[in-house]
Amino acid sequence: MKNILVLCTGNSCRSQIAEGYLSYFAGNKANIYSAGIETHGVNPKAIQVMAEDGIDIRHHTSNNVDEYVAIAFDYVITVCDNAKENCPYFPTQAERFHFNFPDPAKAQGSPDEIMNEFRRVRDMIKEYSKDFILQHLKNQ
C-alpha cells in the first residue's frame, strides 16, 4: 500500500480537498495524508463544496507536517508554491510532485462569487487527483 502526503501552507483548503479526492479515487490502494507548513483549521467552505460533490471531509483535521516525519511516503504532492519552497526533508525516497492551485480562501467578491471560486478550485483538484491515481496507482 502506498503512502501519499498532500502538503499546503495551512492545511485548510487545497490540501484538504486533495486528501478527500485522492482517498476517494485511490480506495484501498493508498493511505492519504494531508498537512501544512502551518495549521489553520479546515475551512468550512472547503467542507461545503466537497459535500456538494458527495465527499465528506467534516472530520478531517488540520495537521502540521512535522506530525508525519516518521512515515515513509511514496509520494509527496505540494499544492501551492509556498509549500513547495518550504517542504521539509523527509528521510524517504518519496517522489515529489507539484501543482500550484489557486487559493480559494483568498477569493474576493460576493458570497456567491467566493463559493464559485471554491468550486472552480475544487474541480481543478478533483481532475488532478483522479489523473494522479490513474497514473501512479493503476497497477496496485
Is 60 exceeded by the pLDDT of residue 101? yes
Per-residue confidence (pLDDT) for residue 9, from 0 to 100: 86
Alpha carbon distance 33, 4 (integer Å)? 6
pLDDT tens-place string over residues 38-61: 898 999 999 999 999 999 999 999
Tell me which of 5, 80, 133, 137 is the catalytic residue: 80
Per-residue pLDDT at 91 exceeds 60: no
pLDDT for 79 equals 92
The active-site residue, picked from 8, 42, 57, 125, is 8
Exposed, middle or buried: residue 76 (CB in 10 Å: 0-12, 13-18, 19+)? buried
Whole-number percent of the chain with pLDDT over 90: 74
**Length of the chain in terms of residues written:** 140
Domains along the sequence of the chain with CATH = 2-136 (3.40.50.2300)
Catalytic, out of 55, 71, 87, 124? 87
Q: Which residues pair with 3 in a beta bridge?
A: 31
Q: Are 65 and 7 in contact (CB under 8 A)?
A: yes
80 annotated active-site: yes
Check if 13 is active-site.
no
Cell numbers representing residue 52 in the block: 456538494
Write the DSSP symbol of residue 88.
Answer: P
Question: In this predicted model, what pLDDT tens digit does every residue of 119-131 receive, in sequence order?
Answer: 999 999 999 999 9
**How high does pLDDT run on average in the chain?**
91
Q: Please spell the DSSP secondary structure of 55-87, one letter per residue.
A: ---TT----BGGGGTTS--SEEEE-SHHHHHHP
pLDDT at 2: 94
